[in-house]
A and B are shown apart, each in its own frame.
Chain A
Amino acid sequence: MVKATSVTNDIRALRAAAGDLTQAALAQRIGVTRQTIIAIEQGRYSPSLEVAFQIAHVLGVPLDDVFHYGGSHS
């Protein structure tokens, strides 16, 4: 699968850390489809800033802990 964006994320790991939050549950809480969460997790879609903040809010971590750009992931 081609990576369509330079933005990477740790949503999968953070979902697990948040008590095995499912993709469907995360999608429902931020008002998007499960397919969109899958696309974001796989790096096939860069979410809007608003959706990115909503994801971080639901996961209970700062935005920087969820999304990383290029080589900024430490």
Chain B
Amino acid sequence: MTLEERRSWLFLIVAAVAYGVYLTTVLTGAASAPLVDVDYAPAMLISIAAAIVVGILGNVTLGALTPRSEQARDVRDRDIARLGDRVGQAFVVIGALVALLLAVVEAPHLYIANAVYLCFVLSAVLGSVTRAVVYRRGF
């Protein structure tokens, strides 16, 4: 497994786990109060910040643990990264459009923020899944 393939798995796991923890926190809070009254913002910001920090530290660790001879990135890695980005970007656009529509109908901020966050996570997860599958099965 190349370093880039390992990074795809790392990105996938970090994004999914961070969102899972956030969702659990918010839904636990919603058990004792209406969902729109849950103070979701701190959990969301901590979850995003933690994912970024863990992602950076994980990348550095992977780089340190991978022999220098296996760290090279070539044209195939760039092609696969581009394909993953293309898949992921679609969800960023969808998230922006959903947030726009929710803002137009004056939906609670909780729904707007969560629609954007969910699409960010879907973008990261599906982009990473695409990369991982393409590394294994080709394209």
CB of A39, distance to nearest CB on chain B (Å): 6
| Contact A45 to B76, CB < 8 A, known contacts A33-B2, A35-B2 | yes
- The answer to whether B137 touches A33 (Cβ under 8 A) is no
Query: Which interface class (under 10, 10 to 19, 20 to 34, 35 or more) fits B?
Result: 10 to 19
Q: Which residues of A have CB within 8 Å of B139?
A: 4-5, 44-45
Question: Which DSSP category, helix, strand, loop or mixed, fits chain A's interface?
Answer: loop
Bound form: Cα–Cα A33–B2 in Å: 9
Bound form: Cα–Cα A39–B139 in Å: 10
Q: Which residues of B have CB within 8 Å of A32?
A: 74-76
Flag whether B34 is at the interface (Cβ < 8 A).
no
Flag whether A74 is at the interface (Cβ < 8 A).
no
CB of A44, distance to nearest CB on chain B (Å): 3
Bound form: Cα–Cα A20–B74 in Å: 24
Question: Which DSSP category, helix, strand, loop or mixed, fits chain B's interface?
Answer: loop
CB of A40, distance to nearest CB on chain B (Å): 8
Flag whether B138 is at the interface (Cβ < 8 A).
yes
Q: Which residues of A have CB within 8 Å of B76?
A: 32-33, 35-36, 39, 45, 47
Flag whether A31 is at the interface (Cβ < 8 A).
yes
Flag whether B72 is at the interface (Cβ < 8 A).
yes
Q: Which residues of B have CB within 8 Å of A39?
A: 76, 138
Query: CB-defined interface of B69-110 with A at 8 Å, one 1/0 digit per residue?
Result: 010111111000000000000000000000000000000000
Q: Which residues of B have CB within 8 Å of A13?
A: none
Q: Which residues of A have CB within 8 Å of B72?
A: 33
Query: CB-defined interface of A43-67 with B at 8 Å, one 1/0 digit per residue?
Result: 1110110010000000000000000
Residues of B within 8 A of A (CB): 2, 70, 72-77, 137-139
